[in-house]
Amino acid sequence: MDLHKFDEEKDSPTFPSQEEDESLQSSLSSSSRTFIRFSRAFQRHVVYNCTHHNQQAQNQGKFLETDLSVYHDCQCDQTLESFLFLDEAMSKYPNATLIKLVDVGVEHDEDDYDTVLAGMGTLPSHQMLSECDVQCATEEARLKVLSYLASITLSGQRMPLPPPGSSYLKQMRETVIKRLESEIPHRRLYSHTRESIHRNYDRLVDILTRARVRRVARKVMGNEKSLGDDDDINSKIIEGVDSLLMELTKAGLCFTEGGARAVIAEFPQVCLYVVREVEDRIRFMTLPIHEQIRKEHMERRGMAKRDVDYYSMMRKGYGAGLTLQQATQAIRAVPQFLSMYHEDSKKPSMLYFYKELGVSPQLLEQARLELGSRLSGCDSSDTYSFAYLNSIGVDWVNIRLLMDAVPLITFCDKEPGWEVLEKSSPVRSELDVGMLNFLRKRLQIYNSDLHAMIKVHSRISSYKVCNNILPTLNAIQDRLMVSSRDLQRIVLRMPSITGMSIESTDAKTSALDARIDFFINEANLSHNDLKEALLKQPSLLQYSIDTTLRPKLQFLVEELHIDKSSIPRIIRTSPAILGLSLTQNIMPKIAIIQEECNLSSNDIGIIVVTVPSILSLSLKKKIKPCFEFLRSKLQLTNPSDLGSIILSSPRILMHGVDTSLSPKLQMIQQALLYEGLSDTRSISEMISIVKKNPSILATSNTILRARIDKYIYEGKSLKESFKPKSVGRKKIYTQQNIDKPMREASSRVGVKKGHFTTNSNRNSFDETKQSGTSMPDLQHSSSLRDIKKLPFSLYDFQNEPVSIVAFASGSIFPADDINTVRGTRRAGGIAIQFPQLTEAGEVFHSRFQDATRLSFGMIMPRTDISNLPQYGLVQAGFPFLRPSRARCELYACHGALKVTLQLLKQTAEEKNMRDVDVNIDIYTHSTYAWNLLKDSEILLDWGSASTVEDVHFDIPGPLSLANTDLLFPLTKTMHRMANNAVINRSRNKRLCIGRTVNIRFQYIGDLLYDEEIGKVTKELQYAAKKAAIWQYERL
């Protein structure tokens, strides 16, 4: 069966069907064996079955020398899959034989860490490389190899060479030898001879010219009319010969013989490679791209696809989608696209691309835009090389795929970059390329990941691989018993652990061993528990034992009476609590819960063991609003009643008031009204149901809605149906310890009853500062429906107050979570919606567009509106440094104010607004932004200052949290609007935008919750995220 057939016209391969592939796999004899080999072309560990191996190889044990008879090269070999990390391959295929490569290994990797293979973990490199006695490899033999490579280089020169034996030719040869000696490590020469290089040279020339030979053969066959008069017969003959040629020659390019020799002369290192690896690289470049892969790489988000099995994809007949002509032209211009070692990936100078290849600055900018963060940490010559690929017709989708599949196609940037240099942390002015390459191989990461690591922990630039990084990573992986992939996640989230102390002495235990000993022996964690906790919170390895870890452990056991057997569960499920301040966070938080719920320390311990993450909840955002909501809605006058509910179902505290608790109560009340109860009776019944079964509030909105619909459909009474049941209820952990009051803990931190406010509805910056602002009664709040009913009377007012309402939201991309590399470049976006304009439709659309253009410099085009409203919505990029969720939310509020100002200016140009009162309400779902902006009088006072230095920002908490670079411009805009200090700069005249301009920033949760407000909130957040993605792709 032919694995490779070429269509006569398209010159593109077709591949066996699924049935044929399954038939081929089932035909493998029982004598087949499983092998693992390292593919340098893809930097992956390939697992395959092979039926063609000699009998002698069967008895050579676990590790097998590379041999043509076991090389994954014939159609009977069955590729199983490939892995980034060797330990994953060996874990899944424990009986597989590991094939050694032909390169020379060393006994200790610290002596030459360049021998380390990508993803091999803690396995010594000499177990994966051939054993060659380097001492026996004479200097003379090495120089002979270099001399022969120099001859290859000189023979391919396009300019005439001096006569043989001349001193100038000898000088040229010595210069080339010195250059090659500096570029090629000595170890790569020891496994080669002049004969092996000559053999590789001939085979490479053959590969680079194969496609040309094949086309010539097809042309000859196509003109051979004597074969028959029937065109169908001729086509079948042509197809058969073409298939035979492809089966014999495999992948190849369209070089002439002279062109092939010139490419090899330009890049002589290729003669030291395994030729079949070069063939695999070329095959992948020229195979058609899979449609699903194309769709995944259409978006310019710059997020590399790590876990795609690119090698298996190549074996199935899919690749990067370059044509033969494009691949030939690309390798002719940049032979480094064939590199199999990191040190060989350095491209020619930028001047070469600019002068010789004609890469324009405009094309470079387009490359930076299209490839995004994939270029972070890459050498500038890489940008030029990819821009050149696009100039010869290669689509950006194909280039992104090539970058993701072939890590060696890029070279590390030795310059740290301005983002690193601007920090006060120490960093080397020129990075060690060897160190960068080692991290790329050891952790299987991209250059963008390296760049992010150095941004987070710049000291890593001064670490030595042999003394610090290599032994530390091996020690962490060995002693914590984590996989290579888990190690990758830990290091990317906490790069500073590469500098940990790992060597213990009689006098002192290393930092790593001390922390492992604490968690295993004192906290009673198993190795699996510790691994799970570290993957969630890698910083556990860097917390101080004496000042951070041990005091919290003692507090949980001694103060909250938690049994030591429950400690592992707490740390495993919520390790973040070990990083919280005991005296400033955990103890005051527990004291408030105890006082407001009248709970004992034993009760608090039960709650913590049941839901450990409660200790990591924000007292301002979650706990206190939840308490206030339950007291108000369930009419709880006794703290013991509140405590009974929380103790019965502590998971209630994990649910948000506006998104979860309030909608649930409304669902229940509406269902009771449907049963025929009056408003008053429905409220009392709702309270009774929830008090008897508080776990209702701990379920999801979807599940509760489904249960209510089911009971209504079956005609069951809600009161009877919601009675507590033991089936399916989550376990509440109980303890038999003696009650020990919490008063000692509260007295130690100076917390007294009443010192914490119990009626503030959301967070403030300081937990101990009384807010004085109570949570509004949701039953008397306005709803989104009421807002939409407000006419947009700005352009058609009759001396009546004009009301303008806007919703603002901000977001970042990528999100900062455990799966995202710390230090990754991020972008921000905002979305602002004016619901009145949405309802008005196209009437004021042009005016709204003019207002947004004058307010923002980077507006997202509305090419894909999906389910978002077509009118009254603007999406824009965040134009400032340090994008974060909080900063984007704050800027979104300012953006809404700026658009409103432009709308008012439009009207003031046309009509007299001196007798018109203007009320502006801007809603945000960010408690951070709302707490900064809720007091309009303070904002106007700040805005009256001339400069930011003149303002005394009287806010609780650190001033840096206020983001004054964004807050002060907002207050200036607000001050100008409120004081009618608006100027038309084109006409240089003052405008009156209203008799009085009242501006309020409100929390979106203050609106009466219904499905519509929930939908609008989610749509706005989605729109802000889309804007952040758009901003990320364009920067």
Six token digits for residue 958: 């650190």
* Local structure of residue 861 (DSSP, 8 states): P
The half-sphere exposure of 701 on its side-chain side, counting CA atoms within 13 A, is 17
Q: Strand, helix or coil at 833?
A: strand
Q: Please check the confidence at residue 740 and state whether its pLDDT lies above 60.
A: no
Any alpha helices (H) in 468-510, and if so which ranges?
A: 470-480, 484-493
For 261, other C-beta atoms within 10 Å of its C-beta total 19
The half-sphere exposure of 269 on its side-chain side, counting CA atoms within 13 A, is 22
- Quote the CA–CA distance of 755 and 964 in Å, as a whole number: 29
Q: Strand, helix or coil at 405?
A: helix
Q: Where are the beta strands (DSSP E) in 610-738?
A: none
- Quote the CA–CA distance of 206 and 256 in Å, as a whole number: 10
- Quote the CA–CA distance of 117 and 340 in Å, as a whole number: 11
- Quote the CA–CA distance of 913 and 924 in Å, as a whole number: 28
- Quote the CA–CA distance of 472 and 538 in Å, as a whole number: 15
| Measured CA distances, 379 to 224, 305, 346, 355, 1014 (Å) | 51, 20, 8, 19, 47
| Measured CA distances, 68 to 65, 72, 101, 355, 536 (Å) | 10, 8, 12, 44, 45
Residue that has been written with the tokens 């310019």 in this structure: 300
**CB neighbours of 226 closer than 8 A, spacing ≥ 6?**
none
pLDDT the model gives residue 171: 83
The half-sphere exposure of 604 on its side-chain side, counting CA atoms within 13 A, is 30
Peptide bond into 814 cis (omega under 30): yes
Region 882-894: mean pLDDT is 92
Residues 877 and 1031: beta-carbon distance below 8 Å: yes
Backbone angles phi, psi at 805, to 5 degrees: -120, 135
pLDDT the model gives residue 131: 54
**When comparing pLDDT for 816 and 546, which is higher?**
546
Six token digits for residue 860: 């997202």
pLDDT in tens, 565-615: 999 999 999 999 999 999 888 999 999 999 999 999 999 999 999 999 999
pLDDT the model gives residue 436: 92
Q: Please check the confidence at residue 851 and state whether its pLDDT lies above 80.
A: yes
Return the amino acid letter for 805. Answer: V
pLDDT the model gives residue 304: 66
Residues 722 and 686: beta-carbon distance below 8 Å: no
pLDDT in tens, 17-74: 444 444 444 443 344 588 999 999 999 999 988 765 444 344 444 444 443 333 444 4
**CB neighbours of 985 closer than 8 A, spacing ≥ 6?**
none
**Strand 982-984 with 989-991, pairing:** antiparallel
Residue that has been written with the tokens 């920033």 in this structure: 1001
pLDDT in tens, 928-941: 888 889 889 999 99
The helix/strand count (H/E) of the chain reads as: 41, 15
Region 638-651: mean pLDDT is 92
pLDDT the model gives residue 104: 61
- Quote the CA–CA distance of 328 and 480 in Å, as a whole number: 48
Region 770-787: mean pLDDT is 44
Region 467-486: mean pLDDT is 91
Exposed (0-12), middle (13-18) or buried (19+): which is 55, by Cβ within 10 Å? exposed
- Quote the CA–CA distance of 781 and 337 in Å, as a whole number: 64
Interaxial angle between packed helices 964-978 and 936-943, expressed in degrees from 0 to 180 and rounded to the nearest 10: 100
Residues 508 and 556: beta-carbon distance below 8 Å: no
pLDDT the model gives residue 75: 46
Residues 643 and 603: beta-carbon distance below 8 Å: yes
Asked whether the CA dihedral 135, 139, 140, 143 is positive or negative, the reply is positive
The most confident of the ranges 165-174, 731-740, 907-916 is 907-916
Region 470-482: mean pLDDT is 92
551-555, 587-591, 958-962: range with lowest mean pLDDT: 958-962
- Quote the CA–CA distance of 252 and 279 in Å, as a whole number: 7
For 818, other C-beta atoms within 10 Å of its C-beta total 12
pLDDT in tens, 457-470: 888 888 898 888 99
Six token digits for residue 67: 């041999």
- Quote the CA–CA distance of 690 and 521 in Å, as a whole number: 43
Give the residue from 851, 589, 889, 528 showing the smallest Cα distance to 746. 589
- Quote the CA–CA distance of 655 and 582 in Å, as a whole number: 24
CA dihedral 795, 798, 799, 804 (to 10 degrees): -40
Backbone angles phi, psi at 830, to 5 degrees: -130, 155
Residues 936 and 1017: beta-carbon distance below 8 Å: no
pLDDT in tens, 414-443: 888 766 666 666 777 788 898 999 999 999
**CB neighbours of 26 closer than 8 A, spacing ≥ 6?**
none
pLDDT the model gives residue 232: 52
Any alpha helices (H) in 27-158, and if so which ranges?
A: 86-92, 139-155
Backbone angles phi, psi at 727, to 5 degrees: -70, 130
pLDDT the model gives residue 208: 92
Residues 477 and 469: beta-carbon distance below 8 Å: no
pLDDT the model gives residue 864: 56
Q: Please check the confidence at residue 913 and state whether its pLDDT lies above 70.
A: yes
Whether the full predicted model's pTM is greater than 0.75, yes or no, is no
Q: What is the mean pLDDT of the chain?
A: 79
**When comparing pLDDT for 190 and 389, which is higher?**
389
pLDDT the model gives residue 906: 86
64-78, 353-367, 646-660, 911-925: range with lowest mean pLDDT: 64-78
User: Residue 528: left (phi > 0), alpha (psi -120 to 50), or beta?
Assistant: alpha
- Quote the CA–CA distance of 932 and 583 in Å, as a whole number: 26
Six token digits for residue 931: 């707490």
- Quote the CA–CA distance of 478 and 502 in Å, as a whole number: 12
Region 86-92: mean pLDDT is 93
pLDDT in tens, 113-139: 778 888 888 887 777 776 554 444 567
Q: Please check the confidence at residue 500 and state whether its pLDDT lies above 50.
A: yes
pLDDT in tens, 973-1003: 999 999 888 877 666 778 888 889 999 998 8
Q: Please check the confidence at residue 891 and state whether its pLDDT lies above 90.
A: yes
Q: Strand, helix or coil at 496?
A: helix
pLDDT in tens, 225-252: 444 455 554 454 444 444 444 444 467 8
Residues 42 and 280: beta-carbon distance below 8 Å: yes
- Quote the CA–CA distance of 605 and 623 in Å, as a whole number: 17
Give the confidence band of 620 by pLDDT, cuts at 50, 70, 90: confident
Q: Strand, helix or coil at 976?
A: helix
pLDDT the model gives residue 136: 46
pLDDT the model gives residue 238: 46
What is the gyration radius of the CA atoms in the chain, in angstroms?
A: 35
Any alpha helices (H) in 422-526, and if so which ranges?
A: 433-443, 447-456, 470-480, 484-493, 511-517
Question: For residue 35, what are the β-bridge partners?
Answer: 48, 97
- Quote the CA–CA distance of 571 and 555 in Å, as a whole number: 14
Residues 110 and 57: beta-carbon distance below 8 Å: no
Residue that has been written with the tokens 């001694």 in this structure: 558
Question: For residue 923, what are the β-bridge partners?
Answer: 807, 1002
